[in-house]
Structure 1
Amino acid sequence: MATFCVIGAGVIGLSSALNIAKQCRGCKMTIISAHSSPDTHSNHGFGICGALHMDKYDSPKYVKWAKLTTQYLRRVMEANSSESAENGVREVSMYVVRDKDGQNEYAETHLFEISRFSRPATQTERQSIGLDAKELEYVLERKDCCEDDVSVLKLGNWVIDPDYYLTRLLKELKAMEARNDIAQLRLINKEISDFSDVMGDAVMYDCIINCSGLASRYLVPDDKVVPIRGQYLIMDASDVTDLIRSDCDRATFICPMLDKVKVGPTHQVGRSDTAVDPNDTRELLRRCESLCPKLRNRRIIKEAVGIRPGRIGGPRLEVEFRKFPSSDRPVPIIHNYGHASKGFVQHWGCAMETAELVMKYAISNAKL
């Protein structure tokens, strides 16, 4: 019987565990994490999935992961079209507001493959989201902005509500255990400082799946892992139903979820402090109100900070073998971390590839 240990209970860890369990029925699965939902880094995410969440730095491999993720989300919506809390996934219209001189040509090549649809917004649609060319000068960082300088693209995207979605993934794992598709599921809240912490004399795993995000900086160790501080606001604006994004260096999102609207965030590379900064709050409000005038004078429900696990050179998804004193042979460690702000848009594709690596390299170690 194969035994696996997943380190991390965010969207990368839970989706990896689920894909592995589906590939290796009857396995034993342990998930170890310092935090669980709603207190993971993933819970701070905006959950935006689709085109224009990709950029010129994304390799074909990263785009492939995004395609596989959106294909999965299509299946989720087809199986359950209800935008319910149990689903955790919504189909939304996304308006991308940008300077006509600064369009992201690389992302546009993938629009039809990743988004449900894409086209220029009509004049009526531009008016419906209340764009003000003068206000957009601040968001687009240019002077003397007029209506003709602003391009608005309408896309069909998905938004994942992290709180509901992580709960859903965990429920699926527990349901697999109830059906005996997973022989045993253990959930352990514990901080891991070294891989040997999970490979003791009493517990032996055929494979370790490292989805620890920021912790990989010292756990692996990998000095390419960098924190990215993202402060954001949750606002009382239930009438804002469209996802709006400014496509510029300081990308700003207005992101409606099932029961709230997230706006922001900051993108501060190298910072890991989680205290709310009033200056950041003022800046976020200025940017978001300029992008979406409907937000003016709305109540701020919550100010929060999430730390994204960035990595110089992009995500790491590969196998490594390590020898442990308690094992008579090297144990495969599948690394799946460093997705920065693209964890949700790539999570299912990465999880599928992780499961493939487990089947390729770990099953020879397993007692099936």
Structure 2
Amino acid sequence: MTKAELKKFPQHVFGHAFTTLKCESPAYLPWLEKRLKGSGVLILTRRIGDLWELHPSFDVVVNCSGLGSRQLAQDSEMFPVQGQVLNVRAPWVKHFIRDGSGLTYIYPGTSNVILGGTRQQGDWNLSPDAEISRGIFSRCCALEPSLQGACDIREKVGLRPFRPAGVRLQTEFLAQDGRRLPVVHHYGHGSGGISVHWGTALEAARLVSECVQAPRTPTPKSNL
């Protein structure tokens, strides 16, 4: 950033300015679903407690269950990183602002502005904390004083599916009682899922294709 640009942030000694894109999930995810349905994909909704519940109805399972993989994939490495943000109306805010630590940020969108945030490792609580909300609002107003005039302030809490070893993107062949179930694991994106989802999804699709094309191993017959 230039010296003139930095004058707006007297508490900072340097900064970076760049042009980027923002993907708004509330609009993007329904678009993806519509695209899938339009290509003939059947979407079913059901709750399962074990991947084997999908056998033999499905030849290959893609496990994108996020934090649910603690149970479904017995992956004890998975844990939540809780995040709390504020969703406010401030249509005059047009620029993204984020401090060096990444814990304070202002992300304007098409209809609202997201103010953040927190990273609470291992916290499963989905209830907003009023004190944390006040802290977020105060920090963001320090960066953009005009936010004092923001209205329609709403609190939101979410859980990021974090995995210390990184995204698990691999094929596992489950075996049980002579049965075989190919599972492509695709989870553990943490807070970066929206940034890398298209690339990891393509790789998951490639792994599924390998499973489909691979010769099937006959299920052993019982002599009993």
Note whether the superposition's TM-score is higher than 0.5.
Answer: yes
Secondary structure of the corresponding residue to residue 22 of structure 2: strand
Q: Which residue of 39, 44, 49 corresponds with 1:176? A: 39
- Does 1:314 pair with 2:170? no
Secondary structure of the corresponding residue to residue 141 of structure 2: helix
Provide, for residues 172-208 of structure 1, a one-character-per-residue CA deviation record: whole Å limited to 9, x for no partner: 112212xxxxxxx2222222211012115xx2x2210
Corresponding position of 1:335: 185
How far apart in 1 are the matches of 2:28 and 2:215? 32
How far apart in 2 are the matches of 1:268 and 1:172? 35
- Does 1:199 pair with 2:85? no
Secondary structure of the corresponding residue to residue 123 of structure 2: coil
- Does 1:151 pair with 2:14? yes
How far apart in 2 are the matches of 1:151 and 1:219? 46
Q: Match for 2:65: what amino acid?
A: S
Q: Match for 2:16: what amino acid?
A: L
Secondary structure of the corresponding residue to residue 44 of structure 2: strand
Provide, for residues 230-249 of structure 1, a one-character-per-residue CA deviation record: whole Å limited to 9, x for no partner: 1100011111111111112x
Corresponding position of 2:28: 165
Judge conservation of contact 2:85–2:136 (CA < 8 Å) in 1: yes
Corresponding position of 1:273: 125
Q: Match for 2:60: what amino acid?
A: C
Judge conservation of contact 2:108–2:114 (CA < 8 Å) in 1: yes
Judge conservation of contact 2:6–2:13 (CA < 8 Å) in 1: no
Corresponding position of 1:56: none
Instruction: Report matched runs for 1:283-298 at 5 Å.
Output: 283-298=135-150
RMSD in angstroms over aligned alpha carbons? 1.8
Q: Structure 2: which 5+ runs fail to align?
A: 217-224
Secondary structure of the corresponding residue to residue 255 of structure 1: strand
Provide, for residues 91-138 of structure 1, a one-character-per-residue CA deviation record: whole Å limited to 9, x for no partner: xxxxxxxxxxxxxxxxxxxxxxxxxxxxxx2344445xx32x2xx4xx
Instruction: Report matched runs for 1:5-16 at 5 Å.
Output: none
The share of aligned pairs that are identical, in percent, is 33
Distance 1:158-1:324 versus aligned 2 partners, 3 A rule: farther
Report the CA distance between 1:315 and its aligned residue.
1.4
Provide, for residues 284-310 of structure 1, a one-character-per-residue CA deviation record: whole Å limited to 9, x for no partner: 112111122221242243111011101
Corresponding position of 2:75: 222
Secondary structure of the corresponding residue to residue 187 of structure 1: coil
Corresponding position of 1:98: none
Q: Match for 2:100: what amino acid?
A: D
Count of residues paired in the alignment = 216
- Does 1:122 pair with 2:41? no
Judge conservation of contact 2:83–2:120 (CA < 8 Å) in 1: yes
Corresponding position of 2:222: none
Q: Which has the larger radius of gyration?
A: 2
Q: Structure 1: which 5+ runs fail to align?
A: 1-120, 137-148, 178-184
How far apart in 1 are the matches of 2:159 and 2:189? 12
